[in-house]
């Protein structure tokens, strides 16, 4: 297999397979995606010109239920990336014991270069192209990088137009007014917060004595920084795509969020009402943020941020992956050798798909929950699965990542075996009613 993102993602299984007893059929089944679709999306631009965009959707595995996964709009979207993310989603859903398989989608573009009307035409065109590939009982898209509730609303509306019936369950992450769930916009960060709090309590670290750096200040990164700051953790650095800010004494995260929202810039500020004053800080790069001497590092941006090239410069004691695949498999092995604990994406950032599941359930029942109910159910799920994975890691003396894959593989193997394997057909006895 070529040295692709998917090949690197697949290497995560190698260690885990040593600790599970699943059938050869299950292993073979998980090597390849069930279905992959590449489409061309013609869009009439505001200036009257026609532009063709490339879109993708991959359904990796649906053994445990309809597939589930986000749609991202980004210049680096490719079939390899989408397939890798669908692979991770398969294991993420199994880790959280959700009745879903894994999927992912995306369109290759810079969304910031399009007008809102062009984005709407693109989003509806994407659904036109993949309408036969998705559905509330087949594959359910959701927001991801540079997609949001408005875009999900357009997609749901377009699918409903095509099928001639209102179908809110076809996507999740929609606006509340058209079937979205309370808590979905903060779910990824909230789930990660519950995992961090749980782990820190296990190793007996209190928030005030714990320093944190967060790479990425989008929806997930900004919210997790805010949650940790309000819980008493000392968040000393945050970054966006343009750069990072660092203050040894800690940052006022709510003020930085307010400043960034109004100015689209990243500075360490203290805001009182609408007036923001710049406070003493260092401007550093995203790369420098990763190498800060902090207790907790939270990569919340894109894939492959910690690689063989910079892994030996990492000084954090604990890394919680809020982004998907921010650490390559080679770097992961080096971090483990150095005694740096990594808490994997398929657990840490699974809050998003968990509340997407809650939204799907609410859409299908027509009964909607309060924010308190959503967060309570999310906390229960995240804490329960974190405890199980922690127990596996301790029992087998393996990393949390390997333990998470062991946990997922056991559930996937059981589901695949339930449909019949070689052992059943060749070695088993068939009982006749």
In a domain, 278, yes or no: yes
Low-confidence stretches of the chain (pLDDT beneath 50): 1-2, 430-433
- The reported pLDDT for the residue numbered 362 is 97
Q: Which domain holds residue 238?
A: 187-348
- The reported pLDDT for the residue numbered 416 is 85
- The reported pLDDT for the residue numbered 302 is 81
Tally of structural domains, the chain: 2
* Contact partners, residue 20, CB within 8 Å, separation at least 6: 406, 409, 410, 413
pLDDT mean across residues, the chain? 90
In a domain, 27, yes or no: no
Structure token pair of residue 112? 């910031």
In a domain, 231, yes or no: yes
CATH code at position 83: 3.40.50.10860
In a domain, 379, yes or no: no
In a domain, 323, yes or no: yes
- The reported pLDDT for the residue numbered 281 is 76
In the listed set 132, 158, 178, which residue is the last one of a domain according to the structure?
A: 178
In a domain, 376, yes or no: no
In the listed set 348, 366, 398, which residue is the last one of a domain according to the structure?
A: 348
Percent of the chain whose predicted confidence (pLDDT) is above 90: 72
pTM above 0.75, yes or no: yes
- The reported pLDDT for the residue numbered 28 is 84
- The reported pLDDT for the residue numbered 412 is 92
- The reported pLDDT for the residue numbered 18 is 87
In the listed set 121, 154, 178, which residue is the last one of a domain according to the structure?
A: 178
One domain, residues 72 and 213: no
Residue positions annotated with a catalytic role: 104
One domain, residues 268 and 219: yes
- The reported pLDDT for the residue numbered 2 is 38
In a domain, 335, yes or no: yes
Structure token pair of residue 121? 């035409």
Sheet containing strand 101-108, strands side by side: 35-44, 50-61, 101-108, 67-74, 139-143
* Contact partners, residue 196, CB within 8 Å, separation at least 6: 228, 296, 320, 343, 348
One domain, residues 196 and 339: yes
One domain, residues 197 and 120: no
């Amino acid at each position: 297999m070529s040295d692709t993102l998917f090949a690197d993602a697949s290497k995560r299984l190698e260690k885990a397979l040593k600790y599970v007893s699943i059938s050869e059929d299950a292993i073979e089944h998980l090597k390849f995606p069930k279905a992959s679709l590449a489409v061309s999306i013609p869009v009439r631009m505001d200036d009257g010109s026609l532009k063709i965009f490339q879109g993708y959707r991959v359904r990796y595995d649906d053994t445990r239920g309809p597939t589930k996964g986000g749609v991202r709009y980004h210049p680096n979207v490719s079939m390899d990336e989408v397939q890798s993310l669908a692979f991770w989603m398969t294991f993420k859903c199994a880790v959280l014991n959700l009745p879903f398989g894994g999927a992912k989608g995306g369109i290759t573009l810079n969304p910031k270069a399009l007008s809102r009307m062009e984005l709407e035409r693109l989003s509806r065109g994407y659904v036109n192209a993949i309408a036969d590939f998705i559905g509330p009982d087949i594959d359910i898209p959701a927001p991801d990088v540079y997609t949001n509730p408005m875009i999900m609303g357009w997609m749901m509306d377009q699918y409903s137009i095509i099928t001639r019936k209102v179908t809110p369950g076809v996507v999740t992450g929609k606006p509340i007014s058209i079937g979205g769930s309370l808590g979905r916009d903060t779910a990824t960060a909230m789930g990660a917060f519950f995992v961090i709090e749980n782990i820190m309590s296990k190793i007996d670290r209190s928030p005030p004595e714990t320093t944190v750096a967060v790479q990425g200040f989008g929806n997930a990164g900004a919210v997790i920084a805010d949650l940790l700051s309000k819980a008493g953790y000392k968040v000393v650095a945050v970054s966006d795509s343009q750069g990072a800010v660092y203050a040894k004494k800690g940052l006022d995260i709510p003020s930085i969020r307010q400043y960034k929202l109004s100015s689209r810039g990243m500075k360490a500020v203290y805001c009182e009402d609408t007036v923001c004053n710049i406070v003493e800080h260092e401007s550093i790069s995203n790369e420098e943020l990763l190498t800060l001497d902090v207790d907790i590092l939270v990569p919340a941006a894109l894939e492959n941020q910690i690689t063989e090239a910079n892994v030996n410069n990492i000084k954090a004691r604990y890394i919680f992956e809020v982004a998907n695949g921010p650490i390559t498999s080679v770097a992961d092995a080096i971090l483990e050798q150095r005694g740096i604990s990594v808490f994997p994406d398929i657990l840490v950032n699974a809050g998003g798909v968990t509340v997407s599941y809650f939204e799907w359930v609410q859409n299908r029942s027509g009964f909607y929950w309060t924010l308190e109910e959503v967060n309570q159910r999310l906390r229960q799920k995240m804490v329960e699965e974190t405890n199980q994975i922690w127990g596996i890691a301790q029992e087998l003396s393996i990393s949390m990542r390997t333990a998470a894959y062991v946990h997922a593989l056991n559930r996937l193997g059981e589901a695949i075996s339930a449909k019949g394997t070689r052992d059943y057909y060749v070695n088993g006895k068939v009982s006749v009613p």
